[in-house]
Structure 1
Amino acid sequence: MTRFPLRALPRAAALAFAGATSFLPLAVHAQSSAQSSAESSVNGALDPVVVTGTREAQSLRSAISDIALIDNKTLRDSGVTTIEDALQRFGGLQMLKNGGPGHASGYLLRGVGTNSTVVLVDGVRVGSASLGQASFEALSIDQIDRIEVLRGPASGLYGADAVGGVIQIFTKRGQGPFNLTANAAVGDYGSRDLSVGVSGEQAGFDYAASIGRETSDGASVIRPNDSFGNYNPDDDGFGRTVATGRVGFTPAKGHRIGLSATYSKLNSQYDSSNFLPDFTSDATPDFRNHLKTRVLAADYRGELSALWTTSLQVARSTDDSDSGSPGFMSRYKTERDQITWQNTLHVARGQQVVVAYEHLKDRVETDNYIGSPKRTNKAVFAGYTGEFGPAAIEASLRSDDNSAYGTNTTGGIGASYALSSSLKVRALAGTTFRAPTYNDLYFPGYGVSTLQPEKGRSVEVGLNWASANSSAGVTVYRNKVRNLIGYQPIVNGTECPAGYQYGCAGNTSRATLQGVTLDGAHRLGNLKLRATVDFLDATDDDTGSRLIRRAAHQESVSADYDTGVWSVGSSLVFVGARPDGGQLGGYGTVDVRAAWRFLPQWRLEAKVLNVGDRDVQPVRDYQALGRQAWIGVRYDMKGF
């Protein structure tokens, strides 16, 4: 393939960022306000509402926490094909990918590891308890209404693992008259994407349902001459089916009973090796990951009075993975039952208290553990938010009692002050903890059942500026983590239990994660510009070395021109060098897109991802796809 010269990409990224913000006064603010301005002013929505920052609805503009909102229009029009791409471009996450779409991925939120970020789907905690992470590769963009990314300490709100923050995904909910949507697209690497959905509300009932199917022949996920001899030249494709459904009934104003369900089935190929009796490795078998995820939930929300709103949710999530080569498959199945009862008390104008009880029970079934371990977590939570003219404050306190690792109490406090109608300063501090995963606790020959949670303390400050068509911002943060859970090589019966021959999981070290996020958004007529720059210093305090796979900087720039009939746009993402079994060089990709609304309900779309056909190594020895062209058609009965 012809390669596009990107030697000057860092300089280009800087120039693009400068161009995107050159229209802005030299004022700065937090990412939450930049996203608020981008969504309310640039996208035309008025004061969007988020819930993740306080567990209750609040306007994004008034949020003290650092929240990025990625709405449905952004997901639909930006040309992103995966949740991972959306989170990297608009949420500021660094993504770790074992190949292209449909393959295992990790994520770093403010430099914090994958298993230190909570992921929710419609308020339900999801993911594998064995690995301690959610599988974004099992989800589809087409079924999502919006994504909220809370960056920063959130254990005081959401308990274990909310060290880096919280990612909450909302599926579509019916509103208005009956609507039908559909999308069909084809792309390089034998890629296909097809989805259809219906939604609406009538006579007190609201409903939404969708189903989608994606397939791709892919390419080899492992690079030739990899470190461990796992390369297999065959293509590693995937097939994914995702279905969602939500239905609700409103028997009286202010009261709603709802049911929701999501289901996904993923079959993806990957490269690995089996070890033969003579200890040689064999990379020729067809390795596959069969992953099924399910979320079922029933909920009620009611305004019992002008002062009291209550909500109750009962849910079960399942993450069922069966992976390996024929005859050597390993299964890990997580079942998680969750009950949440939350009450909001409106104690005075502009002030509210939220109290909640949460009961969480995890069970894991696998061939690799002895028995089927389980653990139960009982938590109580209280939060307060108040607005006093130009000032606002929020506070949270939570206690988690876990059957596996005891009791942990966390909390947070924050405040903001509006210096003018467009300028606001804010500060936030909190304590966090990460629970040991089931592998950390129970994996034979490695897990230690007495392992303690990681503990953290985090602070951040920001300055907000936003006008009718522009925004800019800065957020500065520092996160100190102790008792990091990692590999402990000492096997003398003191650091690891007696009988462990190859080391064990242990509370081994401390780390400091600190950084700065700069962003800007501007609308000039039909032109929308957006840019984000993240600087990260992630250091192991015991050794002084950088934590692996953390890039020191990441930039994202996008520009879109939309006349209503025609639209064109381009995005650039650049990730800096990072340590990973040596030093991986930085990489950058440019995507372009165009759309033509040839009828009010019909739109023809085209995009080219990785225009320069860059050789991208997201993690050591793995490779992403090269240049990929897509063309498709989209239908929306209500019009675009």
Structure 2
Amino acid sequence: MTSSARRLPRPTFRATSSATAPLAFALISSLVQSAAWAQSSPGPGPNKLGSVVVTATRSPQALGQVLSDVTVLTRADIERQAIGSLADLLRSQPGFEMVRNGGAGANTSMFVRGADTRHTVVIIDGQRIDSQASSGASWAAIPLAQIDRVEIVRGAASAIWGSDAIGGVVQIFTRKGDSRPQVDLGLGAGNLGLVKLDAAISGLSGIVDYAVSVAAEQSNGFNARPVLNDPKFTPDDDGYRNRNASLRLGAQLNAAHRLELTGLNSHVDAQYDATAKPKTDDQTLSDTRALRAGWTAQWNPELNSNFSVGESMERYETRPSPYLTETKLRSYSLNGSYKIGDGQINALLERREDRLNNSGLSASPTPGRAERHQDAIGAGYIWGSGPLSLQLHGRHDKDSEFGGSDTGTAAIGYQVTPQWRVLSSLGTAFRAPTLYQRFSDYGNPKLIAEEGKNAEIGLKFSEGVHALGLTVYRNLVDNLIIFGAPGLCRSEYGCYQNVNQARLQGLTLTGASAVGSLRLSGSLDLQSPKDVTDTPGYANYGKLLTRRSKQHGSLRADTDLGLWTLGAQVVASGMRYDDAANTKRLGGYALLGLDAQYKLGRDLQLQLKLDNALDKAYQTAGGYASAPRQFFIGLRHGVSL
């Protein structure tokens, strides 16, 4: 299980901040625990129990009744991040670790609870995005400007979402019009040549609601490969440009029927270093598109249904080195729910069609192109009465290439007191082999699905603004697909094989509270993501998985001071290894970020952001520098027409 990031010779860097990481973890651990017990005046906090989420069960459910490990991020959280992509926002969330080959436009991987980046489902307004050539969705191509809300579900979720949901699910919701016409404008600039612009209009007119948004962001970047010990490379800055837009139209035909159309398009043009040729501008062009149409109906107080059809596209190209791959994913879904007493029955019919265009598909019936489809049927039961809650979900997926897969989830929750709740769940999950892994020059038609078996138990406390959460989990992933040695396939260089096994176990501690006007929140992850492939002579048994740490966490504090809202955040990670044999060490780090908002007027706000405030040098992928100190100054103007 490795990141999709490319590996190149390791350069010489400035001294890293690994010495500060243990201090950061001690601070995070103590404050996460003490914050949850602070007795103080109320104030806003994350994950309010009044929120309604849909990702956990594919039906609306109050956050306080969800039996999964869930986080909800709002537009306020997104605006505090201010710059970058979705990955920059998620890296501070419980269970998430980010690996990146340089700046915000570079190849990016996200590990959830130690699971590989390909083991997290990414959804935009109900439409899944994925690549059949690489390790899952393109995190770098999902822009912050179009996002209104993010729902995160951790743990095995294939019984609800099908293939890929071994580590979790991330669903992105774009903006929606729900009131009188509103115009939002944002502009700003920073160092490294950063410039950002965005504009949105949303509103409600009769039965029609609408939201249209466009945005652009670009940066000159920094030298992502400061290979000071290699005279063949000419140091240069690796910048990026992002252009994106989203559209959401809805028609509330009557109280029971709603039609909706959503669409998102994002284009990233990023520079990177691939060759030692002087004055060579290596570029990656990444495009992500998602389009979905849906019909929601309430036939009576007990019966609801939702039908949708959608298509997504992931396109990746490199220049001047010629490489092009394009994945199109089309999906059809019909799901419904029926309430019976204290329970609810959910049912699902779903079809997914994948098509990959890639010149390396030499073994496909149509060289350069491969296709497959998955048909699925699923059912679930949600029940709650008094302090006890139960959820059962089962699903069967039939893949046209590798066959069938059955998955299930069982969860139970008990409200011990009004403040304390105990949760526990068991679940299975899978990821189907990609079309590239089966039909490329290095493909293997005998590949079977990767499989995960997850068990977890959680304890949650909530009283007013005070919250505490503890989740302990263990996820055993079998039949992991790796690129193996020759001998089992047609290529003399090797091929993809189902040979590895991983054990992902750990605990996550979260806390939130307020001390006077000071709001505190944080998380601490202690984990052991290890390779446990039990094969005679296998050298990496018991080794940490590549680029995953044993501990990582974050701590945030913010307060209101007159017209100012001031915030500070620390994100820390322990030591990791850059290789499967655990011989190439990457030092731990602790990063300080500062942000502030100032109300210049009723509809005008000043934004200030300082990332990596202490200018720490660190690496998440060997041979690649991470962003230095970055500052951003912006204005946001929102007005009702």
TM-score, structure 1 normalization: 0.92
CA contact 2:38–2:514 (8 Å) conserved in 1: no
Match of 2:30 among 18, 21, 24: 18
Indicate the residue corresponding to 2:288 in structure 1: 293
- Work out whether residues 47 and 71 of structure 2, in 8 Å CA contact, stay in contact via their aligned partners in 1: no
Q: Cα–Cα, structure 1 residues 468 and 230, in superposed 2: closer, same or farther, change >3 Å?
A: farther
Aligned to 2:557: 559
> Do the aligned partners of 1:131 and 1:438 also contact (CA within 8 Å) in 2?
no
1:131–1:78 Cα change, 3 Å: closer
1:5 offset after TM fit, Å?
7.7
Q: Which amino acid aligns with 1:292?
A: D
Match of 1:521 among 503, 512, 516: 512
2:500 matched to which residue of 1?
Answer: 509
In structure 2, the CA distance between the partners of 1:257 and 1:223, relative to structure 1 (3 Å rule), is same
What's the secondary structure of 1:84's corresponding residue? helix
Task: Assess, with a 3 A threshold, how the Cα gap between structure 1 residues 5 and 436 changes in structure 2: closer, same or farther.
Answer: closer
The Cα of 1:234 is off from its aligned counterpart by: 1.2
Cα distance, 1:17 vs structure 2: 4.0
- Counterpart residue identity of residue 555, structure 2: V
Q: Tell me the equivalent position of 1:176.
A: 179
Q: 2: CA distance between counterparts of 1:580 and 1:5?
A: 17
> Which whole-Å deviations, capped at 9, do the CAs of 1:359-378 have from their partners, x for residues lacking one?
11000112222321000000
Q: Does 1:124 align with 2:124?
A: no
Q: Retained in 2: the 8 A contact 1:47–1:60?
A: yes
Letter in 2 for 1:340: S
- CA gap of 1:5–1:539, structure 2 versus 1, over 3 A, is closer
**CA 1:226–1:142: 2 relative to 1, 3 Å:** farther
1:219 is matched by which residue type in structure 2?
A: F
Question: In 2 relative to 1, CA 525–378 (structure 1 residues): closer, same or farther, beyond 3 Å?
Answer: same
Q: 2:87 corresponds to which letter in structure 1?
A: E
Amino acid at match of 1:334: T
1:25-40 to structure 2, matched below 5 A, reads 25=37
Contact kept in structure 2, 1:243 and 1:262, CA below 8 Å? yes
Task: Give the match for residue 600 of structure 2.
Answer: 598
Secondary structure of 2:443's counterpart equals coil
Compared with structure 1, are the counterparts of its residues 590 and 146 closer, same or farther at alpha carbon in structure 2 (3 Å cutoff)?
Answer: same
The one-letter code matched in structure 2 to 1:566 is W
In the superposition, relative to structure 1, how do residues 231 and 624 fare at CA in structure 2: closer, same or farther (>3 Å)? farther
Comparing 541-550 and 159-168, the one that deviates more: 541-550
Q: Which residue of 2 aligns with 1:475?
A: 471
Deviations along 1:491-544, one digit per CA (max 9) or x if unpaired, are 2xxxx12x4211111011211110000111012343211110001101111212
Q: Per-residue deviation at 1:282?
A: 4.5
Match of 2:529 in 1: 538
Contact map agreement 1:460 1:475 (CA 8 A) in 2: yes
Task: Tell me what 2:346 maps to.
Answer: 354
Q: How does 1:360-509 map to 2 (within 5 A)?
A: 360-370=352-362, 371=367, 372-444=369-441, 446-491=442-487, 496-497=488-489, 499-509=490-500
Residue 472 of structure 1 aligns to a residue whose secondary structure is: strand
- Taking structure 1 as reference, are residues 440 and 466 closer, same or farther at Cα in structure 2, changes over 3 Å only? same
Paired residues of 2:164 and 2:430 also in contact (CA < 8 A): yes
- Structure 2 gaps, min length 5: 1-12, 534-540
Q: TM-score, normalised by structure 2?
A: 0.92
List per-residue Cα deviations over 1:213-255 (Å, max 9, x = no partner): 000000122231589x995411111111010000011111021
Q: Deviations over 1:157-188 (max 9, x none)?
A: 11111000111111111111111111111011
Q: Which residue of 2 aligns with 1:269?
A: 271
1:306-344 Cα offsets, whole Å, 9 max, x none, are 12101111101111221132xx31110111111001111
- Residue from 180, 194, 201 that aligns with 1:198: 201
1:546-625 matches, cutoff 5 A: 546-563=544-561, 565-581=563-579, 582-625=584-627
Q: Matched residue of 2:164: which SS?
A: coil
In structure 1, the residue corresponding to 2:510 is in which secondary structure?
A: strand
One-letter amino acid of the counterpart of residue 194, structure 1: L
Q: Mean Cα displacement is larger for which, 562-571 or 167-176?
A: 562-571
Deviates more, 1:40-49 or 1:389-398: 40-49
> What is the Cα deviation at residue 19 of structure 1?
3.1
**Are the aligned partners of 1:41 and 1:470 in contact in 2 as well (CA < 8 Å)?**
no
SS in 2 for 1:175: coil
1:276 corresponds to which residue?
none
Residues in 2 aligned to 1:517 and 1:43: alpha-carbon distance in whole angstroms: 16
The residue type paired with residue 52 of structure 1 is T
Three-state SS of the structure 2 residue aligned to 1:373 is strand
Contact persistence 2:16–2:617 (CA under 8 A): no
Spell out the pairing of 1:71-86 with structure 2 (5 A cutoff).
Answer: 71-79=74-82, 81-86=84-89
| Compared CA separation, residues 562 and 41, structure 1 to 2 (3 A) | closer
Aligned to 1:34: none
Contact 1:70–1:90 under 8 Å retained in 2: no
Gap runs ≥5 in structure 1: 28-38, 274-280
CA distance in 2, matches of 1:433, 1:44: 28
Mapped contact 1:132–1:437 kept (Cα < 8 A):
no
Deviations 1:47-66 (A, max 9, x none): 01111111101111111001
Are 1:390 and 1:417, in contact at CA under 8 Å, matched by a contact in 2?
yes
In the aligned structure 2, how far is the partner of 1:159 from the partner of 1:284? 46
Measured at CA, do residues 232 and 93 of structure 1 come closer, stay the same or move farther in structure 2, by a change above 3 Å? farther
Contact 2:337 2:344 in 1 (8 A): yes
> For each residue in 1:234-292, what CA deviation from the matched residue of structure 2 results, as whole angstroms up to 9, or x when unmatched?
1111111010000011111021101111111111111113xxxxxxx747522111122
Given that 2:85 and 2:141 are in contact with CA atoms closer than 8 Å, whether structure 1 keeps it comes out as no
CA distance in 2, matches of 1:377, 1:587: 42
Give the alignment's Cα RMSD to 1 decimal.
2.3
Aligned to 1:277: none
Contact preservation (8 Å) 1:222, 1:230: no
Q: Is the 8 A contact 1:232 1:271 kept in 2?
A: no
Q: What amino acid sits opposite 2:352 in the alignment? A: L
8 Å contact from structure 1 (residues 559, 571) kept in 2: yes
Whether the aligned pair in 1 keeps the contact of 2:25 and 2:552 (CA below 8 Å) is: no
Deviations 1:22-57 (A, max 9, x none): 243499xxxxxxxxxxx9952696601111111101
Shift of 1:612: 0.8
Contact 1:516 1:534 (C-alpha < 8 Å) held by counterparts: yes
| Aligned twin of 1:60 | 63
Q: Deviations over 1:378-422 (max 9, x none)?
A: 001101110011000001000000011100000010000000001
Shift of 1:607: 1.6
Alignment match of 1:141 (pick from 111, 125, 144)? 144
Residues 580-612 of structure 1, C-alpha deviation per residue, up to 9 Å, x if partnerless? 131111112111112210101111111211111
Mapped to 2, the partners of 1:614 and 1:85 lie a distance apart of 17
| 2:108 corresponds to 1:105 | yes
| Matched residues, number | 611
Gap change, CA 1:120 and 1:255, over 3 Å in 2: same
Q: Measured at CA, do residues 529 and 638 of structure 1 come closer, stay the same or move farther in structure 2, by a change above 3 Å?
A: farther
2:72 counterpart SS class? strand
Q: 2:53 aligns with which of 25, 44, 50?
A: 50
Alpha-carbon distance change, 329 to 302 in structure 1, aligned in 2, over 3 angstroms: same
- 1:185 corresponds to 2:188: yes
